[in-house]
Amino acid sequence: MDVTGIFSISAKRRARRVTLRTAVLLGLCALMASVVAAQSQSAAATAEAPNPASPANTLPGAMGATRPILLVLPFDNQTDPASVMPGTTASGTPQGSAQQAETGGPTVSQASELVNLDWIREAAPAILDRRLSAVGYLPLTREDRLYALDHLGLPESFQPSRATALRLAETLDAEYIVIGSFAAQGTHLKLTARLIDVTHLRMSGELVESGEIAQLLPLLNSLAWQLARKLEPNLDVSRQTFVAASAGVRLDAFEQYIRGITERDRDERLRHLKRATALSPDLIEAWMALGKEEFEQQDYEDAAVAFARVPPGDASALESDFYRGLSLIYSGNYQQAGDAFASIARVLPLPEVVNNQGVAASRRGQDGAALYRQAEASDPTNEDYHFNLAVSLHRSGDKAGAKRELDQALKLRGADSEARALLASWTANSTGPATDATPATAVEPLERIQRNFNGAAFRQAALMLDQVEAARIATLPGDQRAAKLSRDAQEKLNHGLLLEAEREYRTALAADPRSADAHAGMAEVEERAGDPDNARKHAQQALAEQPNLEACLVLARLDLAADQIAAARADIAQALRLDGANRSARDLRKTIEARAETMRQKSLDAPPVGAATNTTEQPPNQR
């Protein structure tokens, strides 16, 4: 496995520097990968060799062995201010009407300041980054971009030329750049994007989407699909799924989120983000940003609640769990904090995660020495891990070991006044006369928490672990591989991650075209994406392979939507035969019967066909 190509993003620039602790983890991952590869070769010697061109031999959702790194820049606002329809919000809704009635009062989006559409500049990369990440690319984050601008001495609001964009890409080792613009005319919006291949210095033709401003999110999703197809012509995720990825997210909520992450005033940021989560409780990005804002303002209990709203499997799940663990530590909930860090460590045992898991254990009276040793072994250059191990050893009675670790911490950072004072105290107590007062007056310091989240290191290590897991899955027989991928996809689908789920279901079907679970999962994806014909085909294929509860439920919902009550009853009866206690099936049966009763009442109330109706106009009342 070629590791250097994957991590060129951090190998050349200070912004992406791989620390020793990450390098150790990556080395372990590479060793695991070589073991998995050896197992794969052994399996291939005794089984039918898989087709190298088959998607089953690539990473789930990744285009081959590596994932292209993209830099999506803010879109240039080419709107003539005079062309925006007065009295209309950015979402195309007349001010003070529908939104006000729906939300119980004026929203920020109804203020005159929001006739300015500049917020769409940042909305474009926010949506494009998320969609392209969902299908296997590596978009750089907004924080990465702001770092590069600062590194080049450019302001945050700077709109780079193509030459400057190439400098940004070089700073961040991006392989592709997405540049774009938007222009509004009345309530109509036109989005334009181009893809720049940094390596070959080639630029694509214009990719265009246009429609009403109120359809901004579907338009950006569709533009993301065009970019993904430009990068990977054989991409098999449908445009319809891209467009449906923002279903349930209100445009005014997304607008509030963008204003929340770009606003300079701290109170205004908090106000916008709280408004965004209130308008769209499923807007994951807003919860993540709100949690960070509350964390920075030391509102740790509320921050923990916000971070908990990020579902497992989301691209930011590891980061949210890390900050949730910190929030729980700072709010004194050490048990849940330890659980949060342990859940990350099971997936990605980076030293800062393991260290904080040890801190949570120590704060509730347990021995965290083993965890501190693990963190120290992963990154021996971090003096805090030596300090924490020293405190833990001293507390458990290993005075000599504690002094050795504290000496090592001071070698790494001689200006550490706390460590120096602690060493002097321990030395004095060990050489001076022992008194009964010494233990009572000695104050042990608290172990140190690793507060900073190294996003680059997390993303790099997570990518390597994903590749190791993909290599392991590739050694399984086709049916087992499909079953594992289908389970992972179902978990993503349960959390509303539509694109990620479709990607894995399609990979599962490539491994085993007869997988009933994969066909049933694809049926649900197509149903949610608004493609009932393909949803029905996949559900029927699943049932042709074997009885399947989820496929029956999909067919029942499709038949109910088409007012085919008899067919829907048959579908739900089959589902209940498979699992009579299933709550979804029982609730759906009630819905079907309620619809049947409604239709029956309508038929009774309707006049008989051909019956005459009294159309004689009655004279007005006479005085």
Residue 617 has pLDDT above 50, yes or no: no
Amino acid at 583: R
Range picked from 51-55, 430-434, 589-593 for highest mean pLDDT:
589-593
Round to whole Å and give the CA distance between 531 and 426: 71
Structure tokens at 94: 């007349």
Quote the pLDDT of residue 313: 75
In 3-state terms, what secondary structure has residue 270?
A: helix
Which H helix or E strand runs over 10?
helix 8-11
For residue 570, give the 3-state DSSP assignment: helix
What pLDDT score does 432 carry? 55
Q: What angle, rounded to 10 degrees, do the helices at 549-561 and 565-578 form?
A: 160
pLDDT (tens digit, 9 = 90+) per residue, 347-379? 888 899 999 999 999 999 999 999 999 999 999
Q: What is the mean pLDDT of residues 117-127?
A: 94
- Residue 84's pLDDT band (cuts 50, 70, 90): low
Q: Given phi > 0 = left and psi -120 to 50 = alpha, else beta, which region is 445?
A: beta
Distances (CA, A) of 188 to 92, 227, 251: 9, 22, 15
Do residues 57 and 474 make contact, with C-beta atoms less than 8 angstroms apart?
yes
Q: Which domains does the chain have, with CATH numbers?
A: 1-49+348-431+444-472 (1.25.40.10), 69-79+117-247 (3.40.50.10610), 248-332 (1.25.40.10), 473-602 (1.25.40.10)
More confident residue, 107 or 311: 311
- b/e code 307-346 from CB counts within 10 Å (16+ = b): bbbbbebbbbbbbbbbbbbbbbbbbebbebbbbbbbbbbe
Q: Computed over its alpha carbons, how large is the radius of gyration of the chain?
A: 29
Q: Left if phi > 0, otherwise alpha if psi is -120 to 50, otherwise beta: which for 454?
A: beta
Query: What average pLDDT does this structure show over 511-524?
Result: 95
SS (H, E, C) 586-620: HHHHHHHHHHHHHHHHHHHHCCCCCCCCCCCCCCC
pLDDT tens by residue, 285-306:
999 999 999 999 999 999 999 9
State pTM to two decimals. Answer: 0.77
- Is the pLDDT at 406 greater than 80? The verdict is yes
Residues 6+ apart with CB under 8 A from 564: none
Q: What is the mean pLDDT of the chain?
A: 81
Cα 272 to Cα 260: distance, rounded to the nearest angstrom:
5
Confidence of residue 608 (pLDDT cuts 50, 70, 90): low
Give pLDDT, residue 128: 96
For 123-160, write each residue's pLDDT tens digit.
999 999 999 988 888 898 898 898 888 888 888 878 88
Among residues 489, 248, 217, 453, the alpha carbon closest in space to that of 344 is found at 453
- pLDDT score, position 106: 36
Cβ-contact 74, 159 below 8 angstroms = yes
At 66, the pLDDT band (50, 70, 90 cuts) reads: low
What are 229-269's pLDDT values in tens digits?
Answer: 999 998 888 899 999 998 889 999 999 999 999 999 999 99
Beta bridge partners of 207: 193
Mean pLDDT of 320-341: 95
Q: What is the pLDDT of residue 469?
A: 80
